[in-house]
Amino acid sequence: MDPGNRLEDVHLNPQYFHLGVDLILHRPDNSVTTIDLKTDSYYGSDPVRKVWGLCHPDSGLILLETISQLQYDRKIEVGPDGTMHVKERHDVPGWFFTLQADEVYYYFIAILNDASELNPIHLEYRKLARTNESMVEVENRLLRTLKIDRDLLVSFNLRQARTWYESATESAFDGYRGAANAPYVTVVRRAKRDNFIRNGPGRSHGAIFSQVLGTLC
């Protein structure tokens, strides 16, 4: 980060939940950039290692959530007077269209630890978060505990990405993926990551984990 800039962490501040903002970058000229953070564990170098939430084989994709809730319960209901109508459940657009952050920082990271190593630290972190106590020591301990296979940080301006999305050809994507929940389905468009960086709005910052470790006291 450039000298003079200040990074404010607001990911636990309810004031920013509806905006989808996790960080605010303050510059010396009083300008600000709001940032949303996303992570993806599909970046592992091992084609068979699969540990939910921690490590999966590299997908080569960046997922853009286009529909947060695609309602599939559209039953016809009969009212007391015998008239029929469709049950009102509207689809909800995904974060790619609803976020109000300026930038998205998309972090691909494949973690080699077992969940049993990390769960106690995570529980401690959550306890401190609930009581608004400092989490710096726990965060640093977690970072030192992590065993990283590979990592990659990609960022993009959200407005530019939406413009690119509207004009990109089908060859820039690899279809859609849906994740079923109880009353709805979440839908993401699978953009090819290398093309998103080379010919689209994506900016690659390379692997950053070793740099972060180097900043710890």
User: How does 138-170 read in b/e, with b if 16+ C-beta sit within 10 Å?
Assistant: beeebeeebebbbbbbbebbbeebeebbeebee
Number of other CB atoms surrounding residue 46 within 10 Å: 14
Query: How many structural domains are present in the chain?
Result: 2
SS (H, E, C) 4-58: CCEEEECCCCHHHHHHCCCEEEECCCCCEEEEEEEEECEEECCCCCCECCCEEEC
Residue 37, judged by CB atoms within 10 A of its CB (0-12, 13-18, 19+), counts as: middle
Answer whether residue 135 is part of any domain.
yes
DSSP helix/strand/coil, 79: coil
pLDDT at position 93 is: 87
8-39 residue pLDDT tens: 999 889 999 999 999 999 999 999 999 999 99
SS (H, E, C) 167-203: HCCHHHEEEEEEEECCCEEEEEEEEEHHHHHHCCCCE
Tell me the mean pLDDT in the region 40-64. Answer: 96
Same domain, 137 and 196: no
pTM, whole model, 2 decimals?
0.86
Same domain, 202 and 131: no
Same domain, 28 and 58: yes
Answer whether residue 130 is part of any domain.
yes
Answer whether residue 210 is part of any domain.
yes
Same domain, 29 and 124: no
Same domain, 122 and 202: no
Same domain, 47 and 128: no
Number of other CB atoms surrounding residue 111 within 10 Å: 22
Q: Do 158 and 105 meet the contact criterion of CB atoms below 8 Å apart? A: no
Same domain, 49 and 135: no
* Mean pLDDT lowest among 62-71, 86-95, 123-132, 143-152: 86-95
Answer whether residue 202 is part of any domain.
yes
Domain span at 122: 114-146
d(C-alpha 20, C-alpha 123), whole Å = 24
Same domain, 195 and 140: no
Give the pair of three-digit tokens for residue 19: 């905006």
Answer whether residue 50 is part of any domain.
yes
Between residues 130 and 45, the one the model is more confident about:
45
Same domain, 29 and 123: no
Same domain, 107 and 12: yes
How far is residue 160 CA from its own chain's centroid?
A: 17
